[in-house]
Chain A
Amino acid sequence: MLERNILKFTWMYSRPAQIFILFIVLLSMPTYFMSLDLPKQIVNGPILGQGFETAGAEQTFMKLSWTISGEEWVLFSGLQLERLNMLFALSGTFLTLIIINGLFKFYINTYKGRLGERMLRRIRYSLIDRLLRFPVRAFRRIKSSEMASMVKDEVEPIGGFMGDAFVSPLMLGGQAITAMTFIMVQNVYLGLIALFMIGVQFIIIPRMRRHLIRLGKERQITARKLAGRVGEIVDGITHVHVNDTSHYERADISSRLARIFYIRYELFQRKFFTKFLNNLLAQITPFLFYVVGGYFALQGKIDVGQLVAVIAAYKDLPAPIKELIDWDQRRLDVEVKYAQVVEQFDIEDILDEKLQALPDEVVPPLAFPIEVNNLTVTDDTGTTLLSRARLTITAGTSLALVGQSNSGADVLADTIVRLYLPDSGSVSFGGADLMDIGESVIGRRVGYAAGDIFLPQGSLRDSLLYALKHQPVEERTYEGPDALSRQRFLNEAEITANSKLDIDADWLLIDNNPEASGEGMVIHKRLVEVLCAAGLEDDVFNLGLRGKVDPDTNPHFADKILAARHALRSHIDEEKMSELVELFDPEQFAVQATIGENLLFGTPVGDEFAAQNLAQNEYFRSVLRDAGLEDMLLAKGVELAETTIGLFQDLPPDHEFFNQITFMDAERLPEYAGLLKRAKQAGETALTLDERYMLIELTFSYVEPRHRMGLVDEELQDRVLDGRNRFKSGLPETLAGSISFYDPETYNVAASVQDNLLMGRVAHGIARAPQRVFEVMSATLKEMQLRDEILDLGLEFDIGSAGKRLSSVQRQKLGLARALIKQPDLLVLNRPLSALDGRQQAAILSDVMKYVARQSNKPAIVWVVSDAALASDFDEICVMAGGKILETGKRETLLKSGGAYSKVLAE
């Protein structure tokens, strides 16, 4: 239960700090009072000449003495100073006091700020801590972005207030009382006037602010809901597109923004009106001072010095009063905010902290048998999802739950891992009730996968290993400055009751055995095994081939790929496949590559030499000019444009065939036709340089074997080779980083592993050439024992936000692999492969069974399947429908009895 009163909460968790800062505030009071008194002394003494009436008169400065029970104790007898020196001395003291006051303020503000930030950290952490213990069903009503908005934005002002919670009223109140007392001492009537006006302020202003609080609350809730809607739009963006509901969404957001606007505008109006009134009241007091005080001064009942001091003191009075009112306003405001947030996080049946406690020792194996006894589960509307289910699962047996989506099979599987809670009946593990078993047992000893897997952004490897990150296996040791910052982290975590576990420690717990854990080959081997079992190995291998390697950080790997390149080249020769592949040779024109690629002869890095910018690049243009290619390519470009325009002239402008042109944007055909016409009439010199390059650009993506227009002849090849050499040798220093050249002998940093292996192009127009080349490439990698390293590289693939860079099939396979990697005692698989077709599911199911059978501790399996045919390899089969178990037993028995299983099998 979270404390609902913010002041109590603050006092509870920051008492010593609050007391300390109160003490400091009290300590700052005397200098503050003295700094108020000094102006009077300066004006009355040295300036107006009180006590300096005679020439050369002296006064005592800084005499420190106390009179205790009639006896005077002199600490410092003081200095005797004349009028001018007295002025300097008093003014100097004034300056000193101001500096001391400033330093006090600086220290107090910093301290308060830190205090507030610590409290904010504590609140945020405890909110997340509670979120992690919410029962799973609570999340059916929660919008993630609203939660994020609460934790991030809504509590922020609360943290700021907590630093001020006790200090501000005390300091400001102290200041106000000090100033008030001072005024009172000077003149009681003026004091009473000030007091009266303050009373008016204190009564009127908070009344006006009540509306502000209501509005503030509305503002908070509408803003939170806006965050929730933005989150929904992002998550459901595909549905927006396929349903053409973008306007509906716009209208919704527009109406929400309108409401927020009205609320905020009203808030401003009221706020500034209150401010206006407040200022007015504050300004009336000096008006009264001038009138009444001036009158008294003229009457001689008060001296001018006193009046100046009162006015000076009053100048300091409204600020503390105003801030005090502000403080009260903020208190009300954050109290509302705090209550709002706490309400959302204070829910019933939150998981007991003990169930998530870190275990002290190795988590014991899961106790069998698992007994499901009279288990009934309902959802929050009261619908029965599972009704009086009975089931026993013994160690090492495999059980198929056969049933359609509303059969209750999913619910039964999910209840075993406590994602649903029993309404009546029980689930027990070796006699211990499910509700009493720690999350460490379920989370470490049970592998779970379901069809709808959520993957946080990160690498494939991170996603897989996530399932093993239960607790730090080995603390990291820190030295020097790192040790200090670690110590600081620990101290702060202690103060704010945050987790002290080190996120940078080694978290990988393998086989629930800390001895065998830690990163390294064990993990790699395990990863490869589960990838194979889950049918994900080939996908990862392909991702690895498409990955890039930095030879500086991994020179060993780059060398191996180079060696594999040479091996691949000899294989290609041996298998007479040279027709299928053209290998890059700096001295040869690559017929299968585009003319542009032949010129660059490298992979562009960044935008400088990217295909779409090439024709505009100044350096590239100068190379073409020097190599005499400008005119030649222009002629080719003209020919290309003419042929293309000729080909398509009879077709209507929107004809599909226009999509076949790869070297030209079909929409620009008329533009090209215009260029050609002008060039024909007035000669090519009539074209501007940019227009000429429009034509030249066409040739950059031309490939002879593909486009077959006979543009590439020997002369062009020679010129292009010359251009290639010029491009490389003349490349300015500034552009050196913009391209990574092809070289049969070195690793190309900018290209993928696959491109590095081949360092060439697969020939166009030869049947099955890409597949055959790929086969040889895979075989070569296997032979060079590079497959594991390519897999490693594939595991570095960034899966994107929510794993969206993977296909849904790949995501599900990844979820399955993640359940397997724990080597659990029990596997609960709730339709883990629903995105795959039956044949693929069966293949992976059988691979998983084989993988599991090889394990030293053969786990029990609960696998939910829709298709009865998939259940044939299981030890036991349980057929479910309508939330009930229809029959359970061995396959043969069920077949013999001809009951529900036989029926669903026949369907």
Chain B
Amino acid sequence: MALNEEVEMLGNVSLFAGLQPSQLKLLAFTSQRLTFTEGDMLFHQNDSGDAAYVVLCGDAEVIVEIDGSDVVVATLGKNAIIGEIAILCDVPRTASVRAATRLETLCIEKEQLLKLLQEFPSMAIDLMKVLAERLAATTADLSAARSELNKLSN
């Protein structure tokens, strides 16, 4: 797959949707194509984060270790961005991620992403939006779960 196709795919990722084609191209150029075979780990929970991944094709499973056993909490597909939290706020990986199928990704290193955000503020705002949406969804999930819990305990 050539750079131009990657640029096209990156454009579909909501986080990068606001970027100019030339900026997208630069992003694609400075990041590395990385292919994982099924079952490969992208990273482990509690590792320090050094890169984020954009899924170009295939599925990835987000796994959290609960009481010593692994639980799949989400599956991410094409155009999803993975592992950006650990990069943005310097915390260890909050979950493990595994390739559920053959997984093509674009690996954006921490330094690269931070530089891009500095260089293109519009991208930072977009990223903020994505994170806020995710927060809203998570908050909704949480309150739903709470009320569920309340019902059960009553």
CB-defined contacts of B137 to chain A, threshold 8 Å: none
Q: Is B8 at the interface (CB under 8 A from chain A)?
A: no
Q: Is A521 at the interface (CB under 8 A from chain B)?
A: no
Q: Is B42 at the interface (CB under 8 A from chain A)?
A: yes
| A710 to B1 CA separation, bound complex (whole angstroms) | 8
Q: Is A768 at the interface (CB under 8 A from chain B)?
A: yes
CB-defined contacts of B36 to chain A, threshold 8 Å: 766-767
Q: Is B115 at the interface (CB under 8 A from chain A)?
A: yes
CB-defined contacts of A705 to chain B, threshold 8 Å: 33
Known pairs A650-B22, A709-B3; A660 contacts B40 (CB<8 A):
no
Q: Is B94 at the interface (CB under 8 A from chain A)?
A: no
Q: Is A715 at the interface (CB under 8 A from chain B)?
A: no
CB-defined contacts of B37 to chain A, threshold 8 Å: 579, 766-767
On whether the beta carbons of B22 and A657 are closer than 8 Å, the reply is no
CB-defined contacts of B3 to chain A, threshold 8 Å: 643, 707-710
On whether the beta carbons of A646 and B35 are closer than 8 Å, the reply is no
On whether the beta carbons of B2 and A647 are closer than 8 Å, the reply is no
Q: Is A234 at the interface (CB under 8 A from chain B)?
A: no
Would you list which residues of chain B between 101 and 138 have a CB under 8 Å from chain A?
111-112, 115, 119
Q: Is B30 at the interface (CB under 8 A from chain A)?
A: yes
The 8 Å CB contact of B33, one of A646, A657, A660, A708, is A708
Q: Is A651 at the interface (CB under 8 A from chain B)?
A: yes
On whether the beta carbons of A767 and B35 are closer than 8 Å, the reply is yes
Which secondary structure characterizes the binding site on chain A? loop
CB-defined contacts of B112 to chain A, threshold 8 Å: 657
On whether the beta carbons of B35 and A648 are closer than 8 Å, the reply is no
Number of A-B contacts (CB under 8 A): 54
| A40 to B132 CA separation, bound complex (whole angstroms) | 122
Would you list which residues of chain A between 372 and 396 have a CB under 8 Å from chain B?
none
Known pairs A765-B32, A767-B36; A646 contacts B4 (CB<8 A):
no
Closest residue of chain A to B40 (Cβ to Cβ) is: A767
Q: Is A656 at the interface (CB under 8 A from chain B)?
A: yes
| A767 to B105 CA separation, bound complex (whole angstroms) | 10
Closest residue of chain B to A650 (Cβ to Cβ) is: B22
Closest residue of chain B to A646 (Cβ to Cβ) is: B22
Closest residue of chain A to B33 (Cβ to Cβ) is: A765
Q: Is B57 at the interface (CB under 8 A from chain A)?
A: no
Contact with A along B27-51 (1 / 0, CB 8 A): 0111011111100101000000000
| A892 to B1 CA separation, bound complex (whole angstroms) | 66
| A1 to B57 CA separation, bound complex (whole angstroms) | 85
CB-defined contacts of B22 to chain A, threshold 8 Å: 646-647, 649-650
| A648 to B25 CA separation, bound complex (whole angstroms) | 10
Q: Is B144 at the interface (CB under 8 A from chain A)?
A: no
Q: Is B26 at the interface (CB under 8 A from chain A)?
A: yes
Closest residue of chain A to B111 (Cβ to Cβ) is: A656
Would you list which residues of chain A between 246 and 276 have a CB under 8 Å from chain B?
none
Q: Is B6 at the interface (CB under 8 A from chain A)?
A: yes
Closest residue of chain B to A769 (Cβ to Cβ) is: B35
On whether the beta carbons of B35 and A710 are closer than 8 Å, the reply is no
| A709 to B6 CA separation, bound complex (whole angstroms) | 10
| A661 to B23 CA separation, bound complex (whole angstroms) | 16
CB-defined contacts of B34 to chain A, threshold 8 Å: 765-767
| A655 to B119 CA separation, bound complex (whole angstroms) | 10
On whether the beta carbons of A708 and B1 are closer than 8 Å, the reply is yes
Would you list which residues of chain B between 63 and 92 have a CB under 8 Å from chain A?
none
| A579 to B22 CA separation, bound complex (whole angstroms) | 32
| A646 to B34 CA separation, bound complex (whole angstroms) | 24
The 8 Å CB contact of B115, one of A657, A708, A709, A764, is A657
CB-defined contacts of B1 to chain A, threshold 8 Å: 708
On whether the beta carbons of A647 and B4 are closer than 8 Å, the reply is no
Would you list which residues of chain A between 654 and 686 have a CB under 8 Å from chain B?
655-657, 660
| A646 to B26 CA separation, bound complex (whole angstroms) | 9
On whether the beta carbons of A660 and B4 are closer than 8 Å, the reply is no
Known pairs A647-B26, A657-B30, A660-B30; A766 contacts B2 (CB<8 A):
no
Closest residue of chain B to A580 (Cβ to Cβ) is: B37
On whether the beta carbons of A708 and B26 are closer than 8 Å, the reply is no
| A835 to B34 CA separation, bound complex (whole angstroms) | 36
On whether the beta carbons of A657 and B4 are closer than 8 Å, the reply is no
Q: Closest CB-CB distance, B83 to chain A, in whole Å? A: 13
On whether the beta carbons of B25 and A647 are closer than 8 Å, the reply is yes
Q: Closest CB-CB distance, A582 to chain B, in whole Å? A: 14
Interface centre among B6, B26, B42 (most CB of A within 10 A): B26
Closest residue of chain B to A661 (Cβ to Cβ) is: B29
Known pairs A708-B3, A710-B3, A767-B35; A660 contacts B42 (CB<8 A):
no
The 8 Å CB contact of B35, one of A643, A647, A651, A765, is A765
| A767 to B112 CA separation, bound complex (whole angstroms) | 19
On whether the beta carbons of B35 and A657 are closer than 8 Å, the reply is no
CB-defined contacts of B42 to chain A, threshold 8 Å: 767
| A655 to B118 CA separation, bound complex (whole angstroms) | 12
Closest residue of chain A to B1 (Cβ to Cβ) is: A708
The 8 Å CB contact of A647, one of B6, B29, B119, is B29
| A349 to B134 CA separation, bound complex (whole angstroms) | 80
Closest residue of chain B to A704 (Cβ to Cβ) is: B2
Known pairs A766-B34, A767-B40, A768-B40; A710 contacts B29 (CB<8 A):
no
CB-defined contacts of A766 to chain B, threshold 8 Å: 34-37
| A688 to B151 CA separation, bound complex (whole angstroms) | 82
CB-defined contacts of A648 to chain B, threshold 8 Å: 26
| A580 to B92 CA separation, bound complex (whole angstroms) | 29
Q: Closest CB-CB distance, A140 to chain B, in whole Å? A: 45
Q: Closest CB-CB distance, A657 to chain B, in whole Å? A: 6
Closest residue of chain A to B105 (Cβ to Cβ) is: A767
CB-defined contacts of A651 to chain B, threshold 8 Å: 26, 119
Q: Closest CB-CB distance, A322 to chain B, in whole Å? A: 78
| A766 to B103 CA separation, bound complex (whole angstroms) | 10
Closest residue of chain A to B30 (Cβ to Cβ) is: A660
Q: Closest CB-CB distance, A711 to chain B, in whole Å? A: 9
| A767 to B26 CA separation, bound complex (whole angstroms) | 22
CB-defined contacts of B32 to chain A, threshold 8 Å: 765
- Residues of A at the B interface (CB closer than 8 Å) are 579, 643, 646-651, 655-657, 660, 705, 707-710, 764-768
Can you identify 21 A-B contacts, CB atoms within 8 angstroms?
A: A646-B22, A647-B25, A648-B26, A650-B22, A650-B23, A651-B119, A657-B112, A657-B115, A705-B33, A707-B3, A708-B1, A708-B2, A708-B28, A708-B33, A709-B3, A764-B33, A765-B35, A766-B34, A767-B34, A767-B42, A768-B40
Q: A651-B119, A705-B33, A708-B1 are in contact. List 11 more A-B contacts (CB 8 A).
A: A646-B22, A647-B29, A657-B115, A708-B28, A765-B32, A765-B33, A765-B35, A766-B35, A766-B36, A767-B37, A767-B40
10 closest pairs, A vs B, by CB?
Answer: A710-B2, A765-B33, A708-B3, A767-B36, A766-B35, A660-B30, A647-B26, A708-B2, A767-B34, A709-B3
